[in-house]
Structure 1
Amino acid sequence: MHQSGSKKGHSHLVDVDGHVLKLAHESDCCNHCGKSFWAGARYVNERSIGIEIVNAGDQPFSDAQYESVLRLVREIHAAYHPP
Structure 2
Amino acid sequence: MLKHGQTGLLDGAQFHNSANQDQRPADCDIDLLVIHSISLPPGEFGGDWIDDLFMNRLDADAHPYFQEISSLKVSCHLLIRRDGSQVQYVPLHHRAWHAGESNYCGRERCNDFSIGIELEGSDEQPFTDAQYASLVEATRQIMAIYPNITQERITSHAAIAPGRKTDPGPMFDWQNYFRLLHS
TM-score interval for Structure 1 and Structure 2 normalised by the shorter chain: 0.7 to 0.9
1:24 aligned residue:
90
Give, as a single letter, the amino acid of the residue that structure 2 aligns with 1:38: Y
| Structure 1 position 15 matched with structure 2 position 59 | no
Give, as a single letter, the amino acid of the residue that structure 2 aligns with 1:14: I
1:61 aligned residue:
127
Q: Write the mapping of 1:26-45 to structure 2, written as runs, cut at 5 A.
A: 26-45=92-111
Give, as a single letter, the amino acid of the residue that structure 2 aligns with 1:8: V
> Which structure has the larger Rg over C-alpha atoms?
2
Structure 1 counterpart SS, 2:131: helix
CA–CA distance in structure 2, aligned partners of residues 29 and 21 of structure 1: 16
Give, as a single letter, the amino acid of the residue that structure 1 aligns with 2:140: R
Tell me the TM-score normalised to structure 1 length.
0.87
Give, as a single letter, the amino acid of the residue that structure 2 aligns with 1:68: S
CA–CA distance in structure 1, aligned partners of residues 96 and 74 of structure 2: 6
Of 146, 165, 173, the match for 1:80: 146
1:22: how far off? 1.1
Give, as a single letter, the amino acid of the residue that structure 1 aligns with 2:117: I
User: What is the root-mean-square deviation in Å for CA atoms of aligned residues?
Assistant: 1.8
Gaps of 5+ in 1: none
1:80: how far off? 1.6
Count of residues in correspondence between the two structures? 81
Structure 1 counterpart SS, 2:87: strand
1:42: how far off? 1.1
Tell me the TM-score normalised to structure 2 length.
0.41
| Structure 1 position 51 matched with structure 2 position 117 | yes
- Give aligned-pair identity as a percent: 32
CA–CA distance in structure 2, aligned partners of residues 28 and 57 of structure 1: 28
1:2 aligned residue:
23
2:70 aligned residue:
none
Structure 2 counterpart SS, 1:59: coil
Higher RCO, 1 vs 2 (CA within 8 Å, ≥6 residues apart)? 1
1:57: how far off? 3.8
1:58: how far off? 2.9
Give, as a single letter, the amino acid of the residue that structure 1 aligns with 2:145: A
